[in-house]
Chain A
Amino acid sequence: MLLVLLTLALLVAALVVPALVATARRRSRRPRSRRRRPSELVAFGDPGRERRAEQRARELLRSCVNDEEWEMYRDLGFVRVFGRGLRRGEVEGARRGGAEGGQTGAALLRGRPSDPPSGAAPSPPEEPLADTPRYAYLVYPHKPILAYEPQSRRLLSEYCVEFPDLSDAVTGSRLPDSDDVLAKWMALTGDEARLLRDANMHLPGRQLDPGRVRRDLWRLQEWERRRRRSPNAPPR
């Protein structure tokens, strides 16, 4: 009887011991794997660098754009730039035509952004239109430029454009958000025709959610209304 019990005990030990040894080895290996050698550590980028770059970009943007545009970007996250396709004289001519016959003015108001003049030199700065311009753009960081009609809030087109730094193509990094907005603002106010020529034009809704854009237009309208009522509002 005793012999049988001993035999059974040996059998159980022979079965259990290897499992215990394997478990012990796994446990001893785990702490070792957690102790990574410095060379095995994953190299994380410096998040502070990106943040500092964005901060510098915001300061540059603020120093270049108009106060209203800066406050708009700061509060709403985008900038509205009025189109420059229709000059003041053309607006007055359209109004005169509209008063006489009604046809010309209405056709111009319903028109889409005018085709960019081919090979035109950058036009000299002009006074902003007193009334609402025929079309305007919403400039978002790293998103297409959205053209729309301010009067009707009808969405016209998306202009997909980016500013790739080919010298740093391997890392694939892109401009800080505010630099991207500034680049678009400078290109739109400096040479609108050229920027639109280089962009890929699509119908609204290709990349930007039309619902969100309409909400942003509503937010812009409310923002402008609050700004006009503000005691510190600049004279119009």
Chain B
Amino acid sequence: MKPGHGEVLLTEGDPRLREDEDRLVEAFRRELDEGMWAAVPTQDPDTGRRQARMVQDYGQIPPEAERVIFFPRAAGG
């Protein structure tokens, strides 16, 4: 998410491919190093209920995740 732009696609690729995975990991770490939060939209397989999972490491991303959303870190208003 970016102010004034809405969502901006950073990168995409197939995590099963080594080259794509390296690029995805690099983009993931770059965003977190810049202070962004990362969340993965998930869906409970039993209830179908949607929710989000906050991730702080690339390894925490579920294998079936289709996207990771980065947004600015929360601060007290």
Q: How far is the CB of B33 from chain A (nearest CB, A)?
A: 12
Candidate in A64, A122, A174 with the most chain B CB atoms within 10 angstroms: A64
Assuming A125-B42, A187-B54, A191-B54, is B6 touching A60 (CB within 8 A)?
yes
Assuming A64-B52, A163-B73, is B6 touching A176 (CB within 8 A)?
yes
- B50 cross-chain contacts in A, Cβ below 8 A: 64-66
From A35-43, A111-119, A178-186, A214-222, the one touching the partner chain is: A178-186
Is B7's CB under 8 angstroms from A127's CB? no
Query: Scoring A residues 126 to 165 as 1 if CB is less than 8 Å from chain B, else 0, what string do you get?
Result: 0110000000000000001000000000000000111111
**Does B49 make an interface contact (CB < 8 A)?**
yes
Assuming A64-B41, A127-B46, A190-B39, is B4 touching A49 (CB within 8 A)?
yes
Q: How far is the CB of A47 from chain B (nearest CB, A)?
A: 11
By a beta-carbon cutoff of 8 Å, the part of chain B in contact with chain A is 1-7, 34-35, 37, 39, 41-42, 44, 46-47, 49-54, 69, 71-77
At the interface, is chain A mostly helix, strand, loop or mixed?
Answer: helix
Is A162's CB under 8 angstroms from B75's CB? yes
Q: Please name the residue on chain A nearest to B77 by beta carbon.
A: A160
Q: How far is the CB of B61 from chain A (nearest CB, A)?
A: 12
Assuming A195-B74, A198-B74, is B47 touching A128 (CB within 8 A)?
yes
A-B contact pairs, 30 of them (CB 8 A): A53-B5, A57-B1, A57-B6, A63-B41, A125-B44, A125-B51, A125-B53, A160-B77, A162-B76, A163-B74, A163-B75, A164-B75, A167-B34, A171-B3, A173-B4, A176-B6, A182-B71, A183-B1, A183-B71, A185-B52, A186-B39, A186-B52, A186-B69, A187-B54, A189-B51, A190-B54, A195-B74, A198-B76, A200-B76, A200-B77
Q: Please name the residue on chain A nearest to B3 by beta carbon.
A: A173
Which residues 53-100 of A sit at the B interface, judged by CB distance below 8 A? Answer: 53-57, 60, 63-66
Assuming A186-B69, A187-B54, is B74 touching A53 (CB within 8 A)?
no
Size band of the interface chain A makes with B = 35 or more
Q: Please name the residue on chain A nearest to B53 by beta carbon.
A: A190
- What 5 A-B pairs are tightest by C-beta distance, nearest first? A56-B6, A160-B77, A200-B76, A186-B52, A53-B6
Q: Please name the residue on chain B nearest to A66 by beta carbon.
A: B50
- A160 cross-chain contacts in B, Cβ below 8 A: 76-77
Assuming A160-B76, A162-B75, A187-B74, is B53 touching A122 (CB within 8 A)?
yes
Assuming A127-B46, A190-B51, is B7 touching A57 (CB within 8 A)?
yes
Q: Please name the residue on chain B nearest to A63 by beta carbon.
A: B41
**Does A209 make an interface contact (CB < 8 A)?**
no
Is A194's CB under 8 angstroms from B54's CB? yes
Q: How far is the CB of B30 from chain A (nearest CB, A)?
A: 12
- B35 cross-chain contacts in A, Cβ below 8 A: 166
